[in-house]
Structure 1
Amino acid sequence: MSDFIAATERGLLERHGLADFNSLWDVQLDAVDEPNIGRGGWSSVFRLELEGAGFYLKRQNNYLTRTLHRPFGEPSFSREFRNITRYQSLGIPSLQAVFFGERLIEDERRAILMTRALDSWTDLDSLLQQWPTLSAHQRLAILQACGQLARTLHAANQVHGCFYPKHIFLRSRANAYLAQLIDLEKTRPAFFGWRDRIKDLEPLLRRAPFWTEAEVRELLATYLQAATDSELVGLWWQRLAKRSSYKEAL
């Protein structure tokens, strides 16, 4: 079975004897958290350091996702790897795959997904905890980066499905921020126009409840490429507020 190995990391993996499925499956590492147990199997994440570079090595066994296209299931990493590849082809900023492979060994379906660690990036969840201490310029730059990320995602006719602060990573650059996404398992094409896009954006705003209307309008202004006081931004603000009220009432 053919495995994916990023060309930029192949030499590094080969130097450490980790350029194949079995070696990555057998290498002894400490898990970063408790494994996910369910779906008839398990899935676990490990941290790997090689020559000063950080990686996350994810291994799973019989941890399957079932869809209409794959009713008998497939490793959830298979779907995530396809989405990482799709994001790359569409120019959507996201985490980068280093290795992917899967094996069927007797009755066990194993999969490995290895990605570059985002050590120089900060998740939005952490930045939100610092929000009161950030300067007005930093807040605006972060809002604009999130708006641009959402715009790029939706312009490619994709919805993330978990557009949460913990899945958005940012890095400051000059007077702005860069942003990218992780956790792409639930990504899918946008089928229902603006309704899909509202559904995708709303969880982000609900998880940042102290963002003021003015701040949300700044994000939407970048997302929609419109003025903060425009009728279009106002309409989207109303739609998002309506959906948030509905979700909070459930």
Structure 2
Amino acid sequence: MPVKRFLSADARPYFAANELEDFDALWSLSLTPVDAPNLERGGHSEVCRMTLEAPGLPPRDFFLKRQTNHLGRSLSRPWGEPTFAREARNIAAFHRLGIPALESAYFEERRRDGRWQAILVTPALSGYTDMIEHHAHWETLEPATRDAIVDTCADLLATLHGRRWRHGSLYAKHVFLRPAADAPTGFEARFIDLEKSRPLLNANREKRRDLEVFARRLPQWRSATWRRFLGRYLRRPAESAEVERWLGALTLPNR
């Protein structure tokens, strides 16, 4: 079902304290985008970071995402919808299915003067670092830390595909990790950027696609690393025939 408006209970006091509970207030904020605006699809989409304060609460960082006429099609809205509407819906689906992902603080869309406008606000992932940053220091990490990161990523992707969903844009920068509070060398992970996520249709092909896209920016992962990853992902011994078959089927760097 389409999500027209949403404001999370956790975010409400921050938005209320800063008079940002309505679309116009968020839309009119003057902030510097963190990246160049996305001008694909004939529209405009940008992401800004903001820090909000509220009485009795610690300051909290949010990403404010605003777009105009940046549309895609879905089964529920075949004539088009803001891509942030799809992402807000997918965030809710991931949490409902127990797939670790970013959270949604606010979503609303409207049609104004013949143009679709949408706002999606997500809390910053405090303490998390994307997989690209971990990979940049890969050779300096302790072996136990590297193994824990590989296992955590494998578990995350296994959960996603086990729930019969695909990410659709699973670059390593869209996997965020932070040290686990209950394990000295362990990690926990979440997905971000769910605009292209959807249920699996052609399961084997789409799983392989997610894995190959994830691998593209991980050139320091050698054959032994991928064998460990796939063993964990498939819940099979690393030297098993099934792991060998997947290694042969996947296009991986430095395999």
- Tell me the TM-score normalised to structure 1 length: 0.92
- SS for the counterpart of 2:236 is coil
Pairing partner for 2:130 from 123, 127, 137: 123
Structure 2: 5+ residue stretches without partners = 54-58
Q: 1-side partners of 2:83 and 2:202: how far apart?
A: 25
| Residue pair 2:4, 2:107 contacting (<8 A) in 1 also | no
Q: How does 1:87-166 map to 2 (within 5 A)?
A: 87-166=94-173
Moved over 3 A (4+): 66-71
Match of 1:21 in 2: 23
Q: Which has the higher helix share?
A: 1
- SS for the counterpart of 1:184 is coil
Q: 2-side partners of 1:101 and 1:38: how far apart?
A: 21
**Superposition deviation, residue 196 in structure 1:** 1.9
Pairing partner for 1:81 from 88, 93, 96: 88
| Residue-by-residue CA offset, 1:164-212 (whole Å, 9 max, x unaligned) | 1100000012321111100101111111232221121111223212211
Q: 1-side partners of 2:108 and 2:114: how far apart?
A: 17
Q: 1-side partners of 2:247 and 2:229: how far apart?
A: 10
- Tell me the TM-score normalised to structure 2 length: 0.91
Match of 2:179 in 1: 172
Amino acid in structure 1 at the alignment position of 2:17: R
Pairing partner for 1:50 from 46, 49, 52: 52
| Residue pair 2:171, 2:216 contacting (<8 A) in 1 also | no
Q: 2-side partners of 1:152 and 1:145: how far apart?
A: 11
Amino acid in structure 1 at the alignment position of 2:224: A
Match of 1:34 in 2: 36
Match of 1:196 in 2: 206
Q: 2-side partners of 1:68 and 1:150: how far apart?
A: 25
Tell me how large the CA RMSD over aligned residues is: 1.6
Amino acid in structure 1 at the alignment position of 2:100: P
Q: 2-side partners of 1:50 and 1:143: how far apart?
A: 34
| Residue-by-residue CA offset, 1:55-88 (whole Å, 9 max, x unaligned) | 0000011111135654432111011111111101
Between stretches 223-232 and 66-75, larger displacement belongs to 66-75
Match of 2:247 in 1: 237
| Residue-by-residue CA offset, 1:83-114 (whole Å, 9 max, x unaligned) | 11110100000010000000111212100000
- SS for the counterpart of 1:102 is strand
| Residue-by-residue CA offset, 1:107-142 (whole Å, 9 max, x unaligned) | 121000000111310000111111111110111000
Amino acid in structure 2 at the alignment position of 1:169: F
Structure 1: 5+ residue stretches without partners = 246-250
Pairing partner for 2:72 from 59, 65, 78: 65
The size of the alignment, in residue pairs, is: 243
- SS for the counterpart of 1:227 is coil
Match of 1:213 in 2: 223
Match of 1:7 in 2: 9
| Residue pair 2:172, 2:217 contacting (<8 A) in 1 also | yes
**Superposition deviation, residue 228 in structure 1:** 1.0
Q: 2-side partners of 1:38 and 1:198: how far apart?
A: 26
Percent of aligned pairs sharing the same letter: 42
Between stretches 1-10 and 24-33, larger displacement belongs to 1-10
